[in-house]
A = this chain, B = another copy of it.
Amino acid sequence: MGTTQLESVPEPKYWHLRTVLSEALDSEFTVGEILPNERDLAARFGVARATLRQALEQLELEGRLQRRRGVGTTVAPPRVGVSVGSEQHAWPGAPDDVWQTVDCTPAVPPASVADALDSGRDEPVHIVRRSRVTHGQPVAAELLYIPQSSVPDLSAIDAPSGAARARAVLRELQRLELERQESAVELGSARADDAKELDRLPGAPVLVVTTRYIAEGRTAALSVATYRADTCRLTFGDSGRVEIHQDPQRQAS
């Protein structure tokens, strides 16, 4: 009757389960509430634990659930919108910057980074590590690659590495006039170090934002920022507020 098509191919159990759980989350649970444990839930739905876990994984991917080993599964708050590409371009480290500088080390960049920078493959760069925190939660970790040629007047007095060095590098960067910036977003999985900083397990889904800062016709800096995909919604465009807090895919049908 209501079904537009007889399911000649029944949908997988875990997918159906995802739907059922999703609706239950909408109607019967509040943010932060703890769900029954996986073994109980599996028994309640009459499926193996692995199958239930497949459904939970989907919901976690969609930002609906949060699971922590040793604790349990809780209903996640709506994703937080984090502004990524504002139209009024600004250098990293500009006064209004939301990032926290961690440290700085000199290194020869990986080949892929060297190619994106318009410097030679062997030119050393400053690698500035930064982190971004919102609402008390770490949301992103960043590696900033800055060729030495972008900051030629660095005082040798400053330490060769560390947080003070990082701030000095960013301060020098402000002297260039930023022409424009280009960003790209893609899905990745957290490496061990990023995972630790983001308070997730290795392999957790992340949104990788690669930004080229262009000044004087060349790439003066390259940022690779790793955002938690489960908790973040990346916003582009000036205001940074696209206020759809419910899943924008969800249909009234």
A residues in contact (CB < 8 Å) with B? 11-12, 15, 18, 58, 61-63, 79, 81, 85, 87, 108-113, 115-116, 180-189, 191-192, 194, 202-203, 205, 207-208, 210-212, 224, 226, 229-230, 232-252
A203 contacts which chain B residues (CB < 8 A)?
Answer: 15, 18, 58
Partner of A250, one of B18, B112, B249: B112
Q: Could you pull out 29 A-B pairs where Cβ atoms are within 8 angstroms?
A: A15-B203, A61-B188, A61-B189, A61-B205, A63-B187, A85-B85, A87-B87, A108-B252, A109-B252, A110-B250, A110-B252, A111-B246, A111-B252, A112-B245, A112-B246, A112-B248, A113-B248, A180-B238, A182-B235, A182-B238, A182-B240, A184-B244, A185-B207, A185-B233, A186-B234, A188-B247, A191-B249, A205-B205, A224-B249
Tell me whether A251 and B184 are in contact (CB under 8 A).
no
Chain B: which residue is nearest A194 at the CB level?
B249
Number of copies: 2
Tell me whether B192 and A233 are in contact (CB under 8 A).
no
A238 contacts which chain B residues (CB < 8 A)?
Answer: 180, 182
A212 to chain B, nearest CB (A): 6
CA distance in complex: A246, B233 (Å): 24
Partner of A115, one of B115, B234, B237, B244: B244
Tell me whether B115 and A243 are in contact (CB under 8 A).
yes
> Given known contacts A61-B187, A187-B230, A247-B112, is B205 in contact with A237 (CB within 8 Å)?
no
CA distance in complex: A111, B79 (Å): 18
Chain B: which residue is nearest A192 at the CB level?
B11
Partner of A251, one of B110, B181, B189: B110
